[in-house]
A and B are shown apart, each in its own frame.
Chain A
Amino acid sequence: MIEFDHVTKRYKSNVGLDDVSVKIDEGDFVFLVGPSGAGKSTFVKLILRELVADRGTITVKGKNVTKMSAREVPKLRRNIGIVFQDFRLLPKKTVYENVAFAMEIIHKPRKAIKKHVPQALTMMGIADKAKKYPDELSAGEQQRVAIARAIVNRPKILIADEPTGNLDPDTAWEIMQLLNQINQLGTTIVMVTHAKDIVDKMEKRVIAIEKGRIVRDEKGMYGYKEALADSTNMFDTIAVKKRDTFRAGFRRGGRK
Protein backbone atom coordinates (compact mmCIF):
# COMPACT_ATOMS: atom_id res chain seq x y z
CA MET A 1 0.00 0.00 0.00
CA ILE A 2 2.81 2.37 0.95
CA GLU A 3 6.38 1.69 -0.07
CA PHE A 4 9.51 3.74 0.55
CA ASP A 5 12.52 2.71 -1.51
CA HIS A 6 15.82 4.29 -0.41
CA VAL A 7 14.13 7.60 0.26
CA THR A 8 16.20 10.60 1.30
CA LYS A 9 14.87 14.04 2.13
CA ARG A 10 17.14 16.80 3.32
CA TYR A 11 16.31 20.25 4.61
CA LYS A 12 18.69 23.15 4.45
CA SER A 13 20.38 22.48 7.77
CA ASN A 14 19.33 18.98 8.79
CA VAL A 15 18.25 15.61 7.53
CA GLY A 16 14.57 14.72 7.35
CA LEU A 17 14.90 11.13 6.18
CA ASP A 18 18.10 9.32 5.30
CA ASP A 19 17.94 6.36 2.92
CA VAL A 20 14.72 4.92 4.30
CA SER A 21 13.22 1.74 2.84
CA VAL A 22 10.02 0.35 4.29
CA LYS A 23 6.88 -1.36 3.15
CA ILE A 24 3.44 -0.98 4.68
CA ASP A 25 0.91 -3.52 3.43
CA GLU A 26 -2.77 -3.11 2.84
CA GLY A 27 -4.69 -3.44 6.09
CA ASP A 28 -1.66 -2.77 8.29
CA PHE A 29 -1.85 -0.76 11.48
CA VAL A 30 1.50 0.93 12.00
CA PHE A 31 2.76 3.15 14.79
CA LEU A 32 5.42 5.64 13.88
CA VAL A 33 7.45 6.47 16.97
CA GLY A 34 10.67 8.26 17.81
CA PRO A 35 11.97 11.47 19.35
CA SER A 36 10.76 14.82 18.09
CA GLY A 37 12.56 15.93 14.97
CA ALA A 38 13.52 12.37 14.09
CA GLY A 39 11.71 12.45 10.79
CA LYS A 40 8.19 11.22 11.57
CA SER A 41 6.58 14.35 10.19
CA THR A 42 8.75 14.18 7.10
CA PHE A 43 7.64 10.59 6.60
CA VAL A 44 3.98 11.57 6.74
CA LYS A 45 4.41 14.65 4.57
CA LEU A 46 6.16 12.57 1.93
CA ILE A 47 3.22 10.16 1.77
CA LEU A 48 0.83 13.09 1.32
CA ARG A 49 3.25 14.67 -1.14
CA GLU A 50 3.31 17.79 0.90
CA LEU A 51 7.03 17.32 0.42
CA VAL A 52 8.90 15.73 -2.46
CA ALA A 53 11.75 13.30 -1.81
CA ASP A 54 15.26 14.28 -2.92
CA ARG A 55 16.16 10.69 -3.76
CA GLY A 56 14.46 7.31 -3.89
CA THR A 57 10.91 6.41 -4.82
CA ILE A 58 7.72 6.41 -2.81
CA THR A 59 4.78 4.35 -4.01
CA VAL A 60 1.32 4.90 -2.58
CA LYS A 61 -1.49 2.64 -3.75
CA GLY A 62 0.60 1.57 -6.72
CA LYS A 63 1.28 5.13 -7.83
CA ASN A 64 4.73 6.64 -7.88
CA VAL A 65 4.33 9.72 -5.69
CA THR A 66 7.80 11.08 -6.38
CA LYS A 67 7.10 11.46 -10.06
CA MET A 68 3.57 12.73 -9.63
CA SER A 69 2.63 16.07 -11.19
CA ALA A 70 1.03 18.77 -9.05
CA ARG A 71 -2.19 18.14 -10.95
CA GLU A 72 -2.42 14.57 -9.67
CA VAL A 73 -1.81 15.42 -6.03
CA PRO A 74 -5.49 16.09 -5.21
CA LYS A 75 -6.35 12.63 -6.57
CA LEU A 76 -3.73 11.06 -4.34
CA ARG A 77 -5.04 12.86 -1.28
CA ARG A 78 -8.59 11.69 -1.95
CA ASN A 79 -7.33 8.21 -1.16
CA ILE A 80 -5.81 9.27 2.14
CA GLY A 81 -7.72 10.37 5.20
CA ILE A 82 -5.93 12.47 7.76
CA VAL A 83 -6.48 13.23 11.45
CA PHE A 84 -4.53 15.81 13.42
CA GLN A 85 -3.71 16.30 17.06
CA ASP A 86 -5.58 19.62 17.08
CA PHE A 87 -8.67 18.29 15.23
CA ARG A 88 -8.81 21.20 12.75
CA LEU A 89 -12.56 21.47 12.54
CA LEU A 90 -14.18 24.51 10.99
CA PRO A 91 -15.71 26.42 13.91
CA LYS A 92 -18.48 28.05 11.86
CA LYS A 93 -19.79 24.79 10.51
CA THR A 94 -21.84 22.23 12.41
CA VAL A 95 -20.57 18.71 12.99
CA TYR A 96 -22.63 17.49 10.04
CA GLU A 97 -21.36 20.28 7.79
CA ASN A 98 -17.77 19.68 8.81
CA VAL A 99 -18.00 16.09 7.68
CA ALA A 100 -20.09 16.85 4.60
CA PHE A 101 -17.52 19.49 3.61
CA ALA A 102 -14.97 16.77 2.85
CA MET A 103 -17.39 15.28 0.34
CA GLU A 104 -18.66 18.55 -1.11
CA ILE A 105 -15.27 19.83 -2.12
CA ILE A 106 -14.53 16.78 -4.17
CA HIS A 107 -17.87 17.08 -5.94
CA LYS A 108 -19.64 14.08 -4.44
CA PRO A 109 -23.34 13.98 -5.34
CA ARG A 110 -25.80 15.28 -2.77
CA LYS A 111 -27.39 11.85 -2.45
CA ALA A 112 -24.11 10.23 -1.45
CA ILE A 113 -23.45 12.99 1.06
CA LYS A 114 -26.84 12.50 2.70
CA LYS A 115 -26.15 8.81 3.01
CA HIS A 116 -22.49 8.65 3.99
CA VAL A 117 -22.22 11.52 6.47
CA PRO A 118 -24.76 10.07 8.95
CA GLN A 119 -23.13 6.66 8.52
CA ALA A 120 -19.73 8.04 9.45
CA LEU A 121 -21.16 9.95 12.40
CA THR A 122 -22.96 6.85 13.64
CA MET A 123 -19.83 4.78 13.33
CA MET A 124 -17.99 7.36 15.44
CA GLY A 125 -20.84 7.35 17.98
CA ILE A 126 -21.70 11.03 17.58
CA ALA A 127 -24.84 10.86 15.43
CA ASP A 128 -26.72 12.82 18.09
CA LYS A 129 -24.21 15.69 17.87
CA ALA A 130 -24.77 16.36 14.16
CA LYS A 131 -26.29 19.81 14.65
CA LYS A 132 -23.82 21.02 17.28
CA TYR A 133 -20.86 23.27 16.62
CA PRO A 134 -17.33 22.08 17.41
CA ASP A 135 -16.90 24.38 20.41
CA GLU A 136 -19.94 22.76 22.04
CA LEU A 137 -18.19 19.38 22.05
CA SER A 138 -15.59 17.81 24.30
CA ALA A 139 -12.09 17.21 22.95
CA GLY A 140 -12.80 13.51 22.47
CA GLU A 141 -15.98 14.25 20.57
CA GLN A 142 -14.20 16.76 18.39
CA GLN A 143 -11.61 14.16 17.50
CA ARG A 144 -14.40 11.76 16.59
CA VAL A 145 -15.79 14.37 14.22
CA ALA A 146 -12.34 14.78 12.70
CA ILE A 147 -12.06 11.02 12.21
CA ALA A 148 -15.53 10.90 10.68
CA ARG A 149 -14.41 13.60 8.25
CA ALA A 150 -11.26 11.65 7.45
CA ILE A 151 -13.09 8.40 6.67
CA VAL A 152 -16.27 9.70 5.06
CA ASN A 153 -14.75 9.46 1.59
CA ARG A 154 -13.73 5.85 2.33
CA PRO A 155 -9.98 6.33 1.91
CA LYS A 156 -7.74 3.28 1.67
CA ILE A 157 -5.22 4.89 3.98
CA LEU A 158 -5.74 6.83 7.19
CA ILE A 159 -2.92 8.92 8.58
CA ALA A 160 -3.26 9.97 12.20
CA ASP A 161 -0.76 12.57 13.41
CA GLU A 162 -0.72 12.23 17.22
CA PRO A 163 -4.50 11.88 17.35
CA THR A 164 -4.51 11.31 21.11
CA GLY A 165 -2.00 14.03 21.99
CA ASN A 166 -4.67 16.43 23.29
CA LEU A 167 -6.81 13.82 25.03
CA ASP A 168 -6.92 12.34 28.52
CA PRO A 169 -5.98 8.62 28.74
CA ASP A 170 -9.53 7.27 28.83
CA THR A 171 -10.71 9.31 25.88
CA ALA A 172 -7.50 8.48 24.05
CA TRP A 173 -8.20 4.82 24.51
CA GLU A 174 -11.71 5.25 23.11
CA ILE A 175 -10.29 6.92 20.05
CA MET A 176 -7.84 4.02 19.64
CA GLN A 177 -10.75 1.58 19.69
CA LEU A 178 -12.39 3.53 16.89
CA LEU A 179 -9.19 3.53 14.84
CA ASN A 180 -8.86 -0.19 15.42
CA GLN A 181 -12.40 -0.66 14.18
CA ILE A 182 -11.66 1.35 11.04
CA ASN A 183 -8.55 -0.74 10.50
CA GLN A 184 -10.54 -3.94 10.80
CA LEU A 185 -12.78 -2.71 7.99
CA GLY A 186 -9.70 -2.76 5.77
CA THR A 187 -8.24 0.73 6.01
CA THR A 188 -4.46 0.93 6.34
CA ILE A 189 -3.55 3.14 9.30
CA VAL A 190 -0.31 5.01 9.94
CA MET A 191 -0.29 6.68 13.32
CA VAL A 192 2.39 9.02 14.59
CA THR A 193 2.49 8.99 18.38
CA HIS A 194 4.44 9.56 21.57
CA ALA A 195 1.97 7.66 23.72
CA LYS A 196 3.87 4.69 25.16
CA ASP A 197 0.86 3.19 26.98
CA ILE A 198 -1.20 3.07 23.84
CA VAL A 199 1.48 1.53 21.66
CA ASP A 200 2.28 -1.12 24.25
CA LYS A 201 -1.37 -1.95 24.75
CA MET A 202 -2.28 -2.16 21.06
CA GLU A 203 0.49 -4.59 20.15
CA LYS A 204 0.72 -3.47 16.53
CA ARG A 205 3.64 -2.99 14.20
CA VAL A 206 5.98 -0.25 15.47
CA ILE A 207 8.42 1.63 13.24
CA ALA A 208 10.92 3.69 15.21
CA ILE A 209 12.68 6.55 13.47
CA GLU A 210 15.72 8.34 14.82
CA LYS A 211 17.81 10.95 13.07
CA GLY A 212 16.10 10.21 9.80
CA ARG A 213 16.70 6.46 9.88
CA ILE A 214 14.52 3.52 10.76
CA VAL A 215 16.16 2.02 13.83
CA ARG A 216 13.56 -0.60 14.61
CA ASP A 217 10.60 -2.19 12.84
CA GLU A 218 8.82 -4.90 14.82
CA LYS A 219 5.52 -5.92 16.24
CA GLY A 220 4.74 -4.93 19.77
CA MET A 221 6.24 -2.38 22.04
CA TYR A 222 6.87 1.35 22.05
CA GLY A 223 10.45 0.29 22.74
CA TYR A 224 11.82 3.34 24.44
CA LYS A 225 12.46 3.05 28.13
CA GLU A 226 10.40 5.28 30.37
CA ALA A 227 13.35 7.57 30.76
CA LEU A 228 13.64 8.22 27.06
CA ALA A 229 9.91 8.50 26.69
CA ASP A 230 9.94 11.08 29.46
CA SER A 231 12.79 12.99 27.96
CA THR A 232 10.88 13.21 24.70
CA ASN A 233 7.98 14.58 26.64
CA MET A 234 10.28 17.20 28.07
CA PHE A 235 11.06 18.32 24.59
CA ASP A 236 7.43 18.36 23.65
CA THR A 237 7.03 22.08 24.19
CA ILE A 238 9.80 22.64 21.68
CA ALA A 239 8.32 20.02 19.43
CA VAL A 240 4.90 21.62 19.51
CA LYS A 241 6.40 24.99 18.71
CA LYS A 242 8.33 23.52 15.88
CA ARG A 243 5.34 21.71 14.53
CA ASP A 244 3.24 24.84 14.74
CA THR A 245 5.72 26.78 12.66
CA PHE A 246 5.66 23.88 10.28
CA ARG A 247 1.92 24.03 10.01
CA ALA A 248 1.90 27.77 9.70
CA GLY A 249 4.36 27.21 6.90
CA PHE A 250 1.98 24.82 5.24
CA ARG A 251 -0.87 27.24 5.58
CA ARG A 252 1.21 29.87 3.95
CA GLY A 253 2.05 27.23 1.41
CA GLY A 254 5.77 27.45 2.08
CA ARG A 255 8.02 24.49 2.61
CA LYS A 256 9.34 25.39 6.00
Chain B
Amino acid sequence: MKTFFYTLKQAFIQFGRNRSMSLISIFAITCMLLILSLFFIMFINVNAAAESVKGDYNSIEIFLLDETTPEQADVMVQDMKQQKGVSDAFYKTKDEAMAEFKARWGDNGYLLDGLADNPLPNSVVVMISDLEQADALAAHAEEYEGIEDVKYYKSTVDKLLKATKFIQISAVILMIFLIIVSIIVVSNTIKLTVFNRSEEISIMKYVGATNWFIRGPFLIEGILIGVLSAVLALAITYLLYGQIVDIIGDQVYQMLSTPMVPVGFLIYNFAWIFLALGVSIGSCGSIISMRKFLNA
Protein backbone atom coordinates (compact mmCIF):
# COMPACT_ATOMS: atom_id res chain seq x y z
CA MET B 1 0.00 0.00 0.00
CA LYS B 2 2.84 2.33 0.89
CA THR B 3 4.47 1.45 -2.40
CA PHE B 4 1.25 2.22 -4.22
CA PHE B 5 1.07 5.71 -2.74
CA TYR B 6 4.74 6.31 -3.45
CA THR B 7 4.17 5.31 -7.06
CA LEU B 8 1.09 7.49 -7.38
CA LYS B 9 2.82 10.47 -5.82
CA GLN B 10 5.83 10.12 -8.11
CA ALA B 11 3.56 9.89 -11.14
CA PHE B 12 1.81 13.15 -10.28
CA ILE B 13 5.11 14.88 -9.55
CA GLN B 14 6.48 13.78 -12.89
CA PHE B 15 3.32 14.83 -14.64
CA GLY B 16 3.61 18.26 -13.04
CA ARG B 17 7.29 18.70 -13.85
CA ASN B 18 6.70 17.72 -17.43
CA ARG B 19 3.52 19.72 -17.72
CA SER B 20 3.84 21.20 -21.19
CA MET B 21 4.75 17.91 -22.83
CA SER B 22 2.02 16.12 -20.91
CA LEU B 23 -0.53 18.67 -22.07
CA ILE B 24 0.66 18.40 -25.65
CA SER B 25 0.26 14.65 -25.62
CA ILE B 26 -3.15 14.91 -23.99
CA PHE B 27 -4.12 17.32 -26.74
CA ALA B 28 -2.81 14.99 -29.45
CA ILE B 29 -4.56 11.94 -28.07
CA THR B 30 -7.79 13.84 -27.53
CA CYS B 31 -7.68 14.88 -31.18
CA MET B 32 -7.15 11.32 -32.29
CA LEU B 33 -10.00 10.10 -30.10
CA LEU B 34 -12.23 12.82 -31.55
CA ILE B 35 -11.45 11.78 -35.11
CA LEU B 36 -12.22 8.26 -34.07
CA SER B 37 -15.47 9.28 -32.43
CA LEU B 38 -16.52 11.12 -35.59
CA PHE B 39 -16.12 7.90 -37.52
CA PHE B 40 -17.91 5.89 -34.87
CA ILE B 41 -20.82 8.31 -34.86
CA MET B 42 -21.12 8.12 -38.63
CA PHE B 43 -20.84 4.38 -38.53
CA ILE B 44 -23.37 3.86 -35.78
CA ASN B 45 -25.94 6.13 -37.39
CA VAL B 46 -25.58 4.74 -40.88
CA ASN B 47 -25.73 1.28 -39.41
CA ALA B 48 -28.89 2.06 -37.50
CA ALA B 49 -30.50 3.51 -40.60
CA ALA B 50 -29.44 0.56 -42.70
CA GLU B 51 -30.83 -1.87 -40.13
CA SER B 52 -34.20 -0.20 -40.11
CA VAL B 53 -34.42 -0.18 -43.92
CA LYS B 54 -33.10 -3.70 -44.19
CA GLY B 55 -36.54 -5.10 -43.33
CA ASP B 56 -37.77 -3.68 -46.63
CA TYR B 57 -34.90 -5.15 -48.50
CA ASN B 58 -36.45 -8.49 -49.27
CA SER B 59 -39.87 -7.12 -50.19
CA ILE B 60 -41.61 -5.29 -53.00
CA GLU B 61 -44.55 -3.15 -52.09
CA ILE B 62 -47.23 -2.59 -54.75
CA PHE B 63 -49.31 0.46 -53.85
CA LEU B 64 -52.86 0.26 -55.15
CA LEU B 65 -55.15 3.00 -56.38
CA ASP B 66 -58.02 3.70 -54.00
CA GLU B 67 -60.56 2.37 -56.52
CA THR B 68 -58.84 -0.98 -56.79
CA THR B 69 -60.99 -3.60 -55.01
CA PRO B 70 -59.72 -6.21 -52.59
CA GLU B 71 -60.74 -8.85 -55.16
CA GLN B 72 -58.47 -7.32 -57.79
CA ALA B 73 -55.75 -7.21 -55.18
CA ASP B 74 -56.32 -10.87 -54.41
CA VAL B 75 -55.73 -11.70 -58.08
CA MET B 76 -52.40 -9.95 -57.87
CA VAL B 77 -51.55 -11.83 -54.66
CA GLN B 78 -52.33 -15.18 -56.27
CA ASP B 79 -50.40 -14.27 -59.43
CA MET B 80 -47.38 -13.16 -57.44
CA LYS B 81 -47.40 -16.35 -55.41
CA GLN B 82 -46.97 -18.26 -58.68
CA GLN B 83 -43.89 -16.33 -59.66
CA LYS B 84 -40.42 -17.70 -59.29
CA GLY B 85 -38.47 -16.35 -56.30
CA VAL B 86 -41.50 -15.29 -54.28
CA SER B 87 -41.83 -16.72 -50.79
CA ASP B 88 -45.07 -15.00 -49.85
CA ALA B 89 -47.49 -12.31 -50.93
CA PHE B 90 -50.31 -10.69 -49.00
CA TYR B 91 -52.75 -7.84 -49.07
CA LYS B 92 -52.15 -4.97 -46.65
CA THR B 93 -54.94 -2.50 -46.01
CA LYS B 94 -54.31 1.18 -45.48
CA ASP B 95 -55.30 0.79 -41.82
CA GLU B 96 -52.67 -1.88 -41.28
CA ALA B 97 -50.14 0.31 -43.03
CA MET B 98 -50.99 3.22 -40.75
CA ALA B 99 -50.63 1.07 -37.64
CA GLU B 100 -47.19 -0.04 -38.80
CA PHE B 101 -46.20 3.50 -39.61
CA LYS B 102 -47.23 4.66 -36.16
CA ALA B 103 -45.27 1.88 -34.58
CA ARG B 104 -42.15 2.95 -36.42
CA TRP B 105 -42.52 6.55 -35.30
CA GLY B 106 -42.67 5.31 -31.77
CA ASP B 107 -43.17 8.08 -29.20
CA ASN B 108 -43.95 10.58 -31.93
CA GLY B 109 -46.75 8.36 -33.28
CA TYR B 110 -49.40 10.57 -31.74
CA LEU B 111 -48.58 13.18 -34.39
CA LEU B 112 -50.29 10.96 -36.94
CA ASP B 113 -53.53 11.04 -34.96
CA GLY B 114 -54.10 14.55 -36.20
CA LEU B 115 -54.64 13.37 -39.75
CA ALA B 116 -58.26 13.61 -40.92
CA ASP B 117 -57.93 10.88 -43.51
CA ASN B 118 -55.56 8.02 -43.74
CA PRO B 119 -53.39 9.14 -46.67
CA LEU B 120 -51.75 5.77 -47.04
CA PRO B 121 -52.79 3.48 -49.90
CA ASN B 122 -53.77 -0.18 -49.72
CA SER B 123 -50.98 -2.38 -50.95
CA VAL B 124 -49.82 -5.83 -51.90
CA VAL B 125 -46.60 -6.88 -50.20
CA VAL B 126 -44.46 -9.44 -52.01
CA MET B 127 -41.76 -11.19 -50.01
CA ILE B 128 -38.83 -12.25 -52.14
CA SER B 129 -36.83 -15.36 -51.44
CA ASP B 130 -34.43 -15.06 -54.37
CA LEU B 131 -32.96 -11.60 -54.60
CA GLU B 132 -31.71 -12.24 -58.12
CA GLN B 133 -35.34 -12.20 -59.24
CA ALA B 134 -36.16 -8.91 -57.52
CA ASP B 135 -35.71 -6.72 -60.61
CA ALA B 136 -37.81 -9.02 -62.82
CA LEU B 137 -40.56 -9.23 -60.20
CA ALA B 138 -40.68 -5.47 -59.81
CA ALA B 139 -41.00 -5.12 -63.62
CA HIS B 140 -43.74 -7.74 -63.65
CA ALA B 141 -45.66 -5.89 -60.93
CA GLU B 142 -45.52 -2.67 -62.93
CA GLU B 143 -47.77 -4.30 -65.53
CA TYR B 144 -50.76 -4.81 -63.22
CA GLU B 145 -53.85 -2.66 -63.72
CA GLY B 146 -55.00 -0.38 -60.91
CA ILE B 147 -51.72 0.24 -59.23
CA GLU B 148 -50.24 3.53 -58.24
CA ASP B 149 -46.62 2.67 -57.75
CA VAL B 150 -44.21 -0.16 -57.17
CA LYS B 151 -41.80 0.56 -54.34
CA TYR B 152 -38.67 -1.40 -54.20
CA TYR B 153 -35.78 -0.49 -51.90
CA LYS B 154 -33.00 -2.58 -53.26
CA SER B 155 -30.77 0.14 -54.67
CA THR B 156 -31.17 2.35 -51.62
CA VAL B 157 -30.36 -0.44 -49.26
CA ASP B 158 -27.47 -1.57 -51.42
CA LYS B 159 -25.97 1.88 -51.26
CA LEU B 160 -26.49 2.10 -47.53
CA LEU B 161 -24.89 -1.26 -46.93
CA LYS B 162 -21.93 -0.33 -49.11
CA ALA B 163 -21.52 2.92 -47.21
CA THR B 164 -21.67 1.05 -43.91
CA LYS B 165 -19.00 -1.36 -44.97
CA PHE B 166 -16.80 1.41 -46.34
CA ILE B 167 -17.06 3.42 -43.16
CA GLN B 168 -16.42 0.30 -41.11
CA ILE B 169 -13.20 -0.52 -42.96
CA SER B 170 -11.95 3.06 -42.96
CA ALA B 171 -12.68 3.32 -39.26
CA VAL B 172 -10.60 0.25 -38.52
CA ILE B 173 -7.66 1.42 -40.65
CA LEU B 174 -7.83 4.90 -39.23
CA MET B 175 -8.06 3.53 -35.72
CA ILE B 176 -4.92 1.43 -36.14
CA PHE B 177 -2.95 4.41 -37.46
CA LEU B 178 -4.21 6.75 -34.80
CA ILE B 179 -3.46 4.29 -32.03
CA ILE B 180 0.10 3.79 -33.27
CA VAL B 181 0.63 7.55 -33.49
CA SER B 182 -0.79 8.04 -30.01
CA ILE B 183 1.43 5.36 -28.52
CA ILE B 184 4.46 7.04 -30.08
CA VAL B 185 3.38 10.42 -28.74
CA VAL B 186 2.93 9.06 -25.22
CA SER B 187 6.16 7.07 -25.27
CA ASN B 188 8.11 10.17 -26.33
CA THR B 189 6.59 12.21 -23.56
CA ILE B 190 7.41 9.56 -21.01
CA LYS B 191 10.89 9.20 -22.46
CA LEU B 192 11.49 12.84 -21.57
CA THR B 193 10.67 12.23 -17.93
CA VAL B 194 12.75 9.08 -18.02
CA PHE B 195 15.74 11.08 -19.26
CA ASN B 196 15.15 13.72 -16.63
CA ARG B 197 15.36 11.02 -14.01
CA SER B 198 18.00 8.79 -15.57
CA GLU B 199 20.45 9.41 -12.74
CA GLU B 200 17.81 8.51 -10.19
CA ILE B 201 16.86 5.40 -12.10
CA SER B 202 20.44 4.20 -12.41
CA ILE B 203 20.87 4.62 -8.65
CA MET B 204 17.60 2.81 -8.05
CA LYS B 205 18.86 -0.07 -10.12
CA TYR B 206 22.16 -0.21 -8.27
CA VAL B 207 20.47 -0.19 -4.91
CA GLY B 208 18.23 -3.05 -5.99
CA ALA B 209 14.83 -1.60 -6.83
CA THR B 210 12.77 -3.99 -8.90
CA ASN B 211 11.95 -3.13 -12.49
CA TRP B 212 8.25 -2.88 -11.76
CA PHE B 213 8.94 -0.50 -8.93
CA ILE B 214 10.96 1.72 -11.25
CA ARG B 215 8.40 1.42 -14.01
CA GLY B 216 5.37 2.08 -11.77
CA PRO B 217 5.37 5.88 -11.71
CA PHE B 218 5.96 6.09 -15.45
CA LEU B 219 3.18 3.63 -16.11
CA ILE B 220 0.78 5.66 -13.99
CA GLU B 221 1.93 8.82 -15.74
CA GLY B 222 1.11 7.26 -19.11
CA ILE B 223 -2.26 6.01 -17.93
CA LEU B 224 -3.01 9.42 -16.46
CA ILE B 225 -2.35 11.03 -19.83
CA GLY B 226 -4.55 8.43 -21.53
CA VAL B 227 -7.45 8.77 -19.12
CA LEU B 228 -7.41 12.57 -19.15
CA SER B 229 -7.46 12.52 -22.95
CA ALA B 230 -10.37 10.07 -22.93
CA VAL B 231 -12.39 12.21 -20.53
CA LEU B 232 -11.70 15.33 -22.57
CA ALA B 233 -12.61 13.66 -25.85
CA LEU B 234 -15.75 12.26 -24.29
CA ALA B 235 -16.86 15.66 -23.04
CA ILE B 236 -16.26 17.27 -26.42
CA THR B 237 -18.08 14.48 -28.23
CA TYR B 238 -20.99 14.79 -25.84
CA LEU B 239 -21.35 18.52 -26.44
CA LEU B 240 -20.87 18.36 -30.21
CA TYR B 241 -23.05 15.35 -30.86
CA GLY B 242 -25.75 16.79 -28.61
CA GLN B 243 -25.72 19.92 -30.75
CA ILE B 244 -25.79 17.96 -33.97
CA VAL B 245 -28.77 15.89 -32.86
CA ASP B 246 -30.56 19.05 -31.78
CA ILE B 247 -29.98 20.74 -35.09
CA ILE B 248 -30.42 18.03 -37.71
CA GLY B 249 -31.98 15.22 -35.70
CA ASP B 250 -35.53 16.02 -36.87
CA GLN B 251 -34.55 16.30 -40.53
CA VAL B 252 -32.75 12.99 -40.39
CA TYR B 253 -35.81 11.49 -38.82
CA GLN B 254 -38.03 12.76 -41.59
CA MET B 255 -35.66 11.67 -44.33
CA LEU B 256 -34.89 8.20 -43.12
CA SER B 257 -37.87 7.73 -40.81
CA THR B 258 -35.36 6.47 -38.27
CA PRO B 259 -34.08 8.57 -35.36
CA MET B 260 -30.40 9.35 -34.79
CA VAL B 261 -28.74 7.34 -32.07
CA PRO B 262 -29.48 9.17 -28.78
CA VAL B 263 -26.65 11.07 -27.06
CA GLY B 264 -26.87 9.24 -23.76
CA PHE B 265 -26.62 5.81 -25.32
CA LEU B 266 -23.72 6.87 -27.52
CA ILE B 267 -21.73 8.49 -24.72
CA TYR B 268 -22.26 5.57 -22.40
CA ASN B 269 -20.77 3.20 -24.96
CA PHE B 270 -18.02 5.58 -26.01
CA ALA B 271 -16.97 6.03 -22.41
CA TRP B 272 -15.84 2.43 -22.17
CA ILE B 273 -14.17 2.41 -25.56
CA PHE B 274 -12.34 5.68 -24.92
CA LEU B 275 -11.20 4.74 -21.43
CA ALA B 276 -9.97 1.37 -22.64
CA LEU B 277 -8.12 3.03 -25.51
CA GLY B 278 -6.71 5.75 -23.26
CA VAL B 279 -5.45 3.32 -20.65
CA SER B 280 -3.93 0.94 -23.17
CA ILE B 281 -2.31 3.71 -25.20
CA GLY B 282 -0.89 5.25 -22.04
CA SER B 283 0.47 2.04 -20.61
CA CYS B 284 1.83 0.75 -23.93
CA GLY B 285 3.53 4.08 -24.51
CA SER B 286 5.26 4.11 -21.17
CA ILE B 287 6.27 0.45 -21.23
CA ILE B 288 7.80 0.92 -24.66
CA SER B 289 9.72 3.99 -23.56
CA MET B 290 11.06 2.14 -20.52
CA ARG B 291 11.90 -1.13 -22.19
CA LYS B 292 15.40 -0.29 -23.38
CA PHE B 293 16.16 1.37 -20.10
CA LEU B 294 15.49 -1.57 -17.88
CA ASN B 295 17.14 -4.27 -19.95
CA ALA B 296 20.40 -4.31 -18.10
> CB within 8 Å of B: which residues of A?
48, 50, 70-71, 73-79, 82, 88, 90, 101-102, 104-107, 149, 153, 247, 250-255
CA distance A128 to B295 in the complex (A): 39
Say whether A88 contacts B208, CB under 8 Å.
Answer: no
Say whether B6 contacts A82, CB under 8 Å.
Answer: no
A-B contact list, 20 entries, CB within 8 Å: A71-B210, A74-B209, A74-B210, A74-B211, A77-B205, A77-B206, A88-B199, A88-B202, A105-B204, A105-B207, A105-B208, A107-B3, A149-B207, A250-B296, A251-B198, A251-B201, A251-B293, A252-B293, A253-B292, A253-B295
Contact A78:B207 (CB < 8 A) given known A253-B294, A253-B295, A255-B296: yes
Of the candidates A50, A76, A77, A90, the one whose C-beta lies within 8 Å of that of B200 is A90
> CB within 8 Å of A: which residues of B?
2-3, 6, 198-211, 213, 292-296
Among A73, A76, A102, A251, the one with the most B-chain Cβ atoms within 10 Å of its Cβ is A251
Contact A106:B202 (CB < 8 A) given known A252-B293, A253-B296: no
With a cutoff of 8 Å between Cβ atoms, the chain B residues found around residue A149 in the complex are 207
Of the candidates B3, B200, B208, the one whose C-beta lies within 8 Å of that of A78 is B208
CA distance A105 to B200 in the complex (A): 11
CA distance A250 to B203 in the complex (A): 11
Contact A106:B203 (CB < 8 A) given known A252-B293, A253-B295: no
Say whether B206 contacts A105, CB under 8 Å.
Answer: no
Q: How far is the CB of A150 from chain B (nearest CB, A)?
A: 9
Of the candidates B203, B211, B293, B294, the one whose C-beta lies within 8 Å of that of A88 is B203
Q: How far is the CB of B176 from chain A (nearest CB, A)?
A: 29
Say whether A101 contacts B203, CB under 8 Å.
Answer: yes
CA distance A77 to B208 in the complex (A): 5
Among B199, B200, B203, B204, the one with the most A-chain Cβ atoms within 10 Å of its Cβ is B203
Say whether A251 contacts B209, CB under 8 Å.
Answer: no
Say whether B296 contacts A90, CB under 8 Å.
Answer: no
With a cutoff of 8 Å between Cβ atoms, the chain A residues found around residue B3 in the complex are 107
CA distance A71 to B207 in the complex (A): 14
CA distance A50 to B208 in the complex (A): 12
CA distance A75 to B210 in the complex (A): 8
Q: How far is the CB of B295 from chain A (nearest CB, A)?
A: 5
With a cutoff of 8 Å between Cβ atoms, the chain B residues found around residue A90 in the complex are 199-200, 203
CA distance A252 to B6 in the complex (A): 24
Say whether B295 contacts A105, CB under 8 Å.
Answer: no
Say whether B207 contacts A253, CB under 8 Å.
Answer: no
With a cutoff of 8 Å between Cβ atoms, the chain A residues found around residue B294 in the complex are 253
With a cutoff of 8 Å between Cβ atoms, the chain A residues found around residue B2 in the complex are 107
With a cutoff of 8 Å between Cβ atoms, the chain B residues found around residue A50 in the complex are 296
Say whether B198 contacts A76, CB under 8 Å.
Answer: no
With a cutoff of 8 Å between Cβ atoms, the chain B residues found around residue A78 in the complex are 207-208
Q: How far is the CB of B217 from chain A (nearest CB, A)?
A: 11
- In order of increasing CB-CB distance, the 10 nearest A-B pairs are A78-B208, A77-B208, A253-B293, A105-B209, A74-B208, A251-B198, A102-B207, A74-B210, A253-B296, A253-B292
With a cutoff of 8 Å between Cβ atoms, the chain B residues found around residue A153 in the complex are 207-208
Nearest opposing residue in chain A for B209, CB measure: A105
CA distance A78 to B205 in the complex (A): 10
Q: How far is the CB of A105 from chain B (nearest CB, A)?
A: 4
Q: How far is the CB of B250 from chain A (nearest CB, A)?
A: 60
Q: What 7 additional pairs, Cβ within 8 angstroms, besides A105-B213, A107-B3? A: A48-B206, A71-B210, A101-B203, A105-B204, A106-B208, A250-B202, A252-B292
Q: How far is the CB of B4 from chain A (nearest CB, A)?
A: 11
Say whether B209 contacts A106, CB under 8 Å.
Answer: yes
With a cutoff of 8 Å between Cβ atoms, the chain A residues found around residue B213 in the complex are 105
Nearest opposing residue in chain A for B207, CB measure: A102
CA distance A247 to B198 in the complex (A): 11
With a cutoff of 8 Å between Cβ atoms, the chain B residues found around residue A79 in the complex are 208
Q: How far is the CB of A104 from chain B (nearest CB, A)?
A: 7
Say whether B202 contacts A251, CB under 8 Å.
Answer: yes
Q: How far is the CB of B195 from chain A (nearest CB, A)?
A: 9
CA distance A106 to B36 in the complex (A): 43
CA distance A73 to B204 in the complex (A): 12
